[in-house]
């Protein structure tokens, strides 16, 4: 059974007093403008690593509404939401909750590897980002993007920049008034200015989309 780490926060709060926000404001004038426009930002985390990854698999390539509905049905089938409780369910039972066959395979692989401690979540605090990405992408159906979201939205790692994320590419292109690029390498041109707080920069870039600021 996985355990929630007591030292791991369940939310991140960014304000003008936050050291990472002060650093971003000093280092990037355009991002400073966006941060001022958005204001204080709270990011809710899921500090249970197994649940975070499993629910990420459930929600892949679905709308927020559809993903939430399926998550509710899966949680009804396995309220404890442990590797053991999910492994005890027949694949067709999970299929009946709305999961695709591929997602059932992925969740069972995640649960099996967690139960066998091939995924050693007790070591996460001592591992570097790339080590964690390598570990979790060994699970069927988990790619680099999902692993990067895990680093940010479960572990709260401060310096993650998902170069392949379409939303971040779109928001960065808009914020800096950049021309179209076939290679989509918008983040590479500015992301170095945000280190070592690239996660905070990403949260504000996503929020620009969530609030419709980039369409104004």
2 assigned to some structural domain: no
pLDDT value for 5: 45
To which residue do tokens 């895990």 refer?
Answer: 150
**81 and 128 fall within a common domain:** yes
Q: Which helix (H) or strand (E) holds 151?
A: helix 144-153
Q: Residue 107: is it exposed, middle or buried by C-beta count within 10 angstroms (0-12/13-18/19+)?
A: buried
Contact 75, 156 (CB under 8 A): no
**173 and 185 fall within a common domain:** yes
Boundary-marking domain end, from 129, 153, 177: 153
CATH of the domain at 26: 1.10.1670.40
Q: Which helix (H) or strand (E) holds 42?
A: strand 41-44
What domain range includes position 26? 11-45+160-215
pLDDT value for 7: 62
To which residue do tokens 């059932």 refer?
Answer: 104
Contact 157, 129 (CB under 8 A): yes
Q: Residue 158: is it exposed, middle or buried by C-beta count within 10 angstroms (0-12/13-18/19+)?
A: middle
**117 and 61 fall within a common domain:** yes
The Cα–Cα gap between 35 and 21 comes to 8
**What is the dihedral sign for C-alpha 136, 185, 174, 19?**
positive
The Cα–Cα gap between 213 and 203 comes to 14
pLDDT tens digit at each of 216 positions of the chain: 444 445 678 999 999 999 999 999 999 999 999 999 999 999 999 999 999 999 999 988 888 888 899 999 999 999 888 999 999 999 999 999 999 999 999 999 999 999 999 999 999 999 999 999 999 999 999 999 999 999 999 999 999 999 999 999 999 999 999 999 999 999 999 999 999 999 999 999 999 999 999 986
190 assigned to some structural domain: yes
CATH of the domain at 129: 1.10.340.30
111 assigned to some structural domain: yes
Output phi, psi for 15, to 5 deg. Answer: -145, 180
Please state whether the predicted TM-score (pTM) of the whole model is above 0.85: yes
**147 and 167 fall within a common domain:** no
């Amino acid at each position: 059974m996985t355990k929630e780490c007591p030292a791991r926060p369940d939310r991140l709060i960014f304000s003008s007093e936050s050291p990472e926000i002060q650093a971003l404001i000093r280092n990037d004038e355009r991002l400073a403008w966006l941060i001022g426009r958005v204001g204080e930002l709270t990011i809710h985390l899921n500090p249970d690593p197994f649940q975070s990854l499993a629910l990420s698999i459930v929600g892949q390539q679905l709308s927020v509404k559809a993903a939430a509905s399926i998550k509710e049905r899966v949680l009804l089938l396995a309220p404890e939401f442990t590797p053991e409780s999910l492994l005890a369910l027949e694949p067709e039972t999970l299929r009946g909750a709305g999961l695709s066959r591929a997602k059932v395979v992925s969740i069972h692989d995640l649960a099996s590897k967690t139960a066998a401690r091939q995924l050693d979540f007790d070591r996460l605090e001592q591992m570097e980002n790339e080590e964690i990405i390598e570990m979790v992408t060994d699970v069927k159906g988990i790619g680099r993007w999902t692993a990067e979201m895990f680093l940010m939205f479960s572990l709260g790692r401060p310096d993650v920049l998902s170069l392949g994320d379409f939303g971040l590419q779109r928001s960065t292109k808009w914020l800096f008034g950049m021309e179209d690029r076939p290679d989509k390498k918008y983040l590479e041109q500015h992301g170095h200015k945000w280190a070592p707080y690239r996660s905070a920069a990403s949260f504000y870039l996503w929020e620009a989309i969530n609030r419709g600021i980039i369409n104004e």
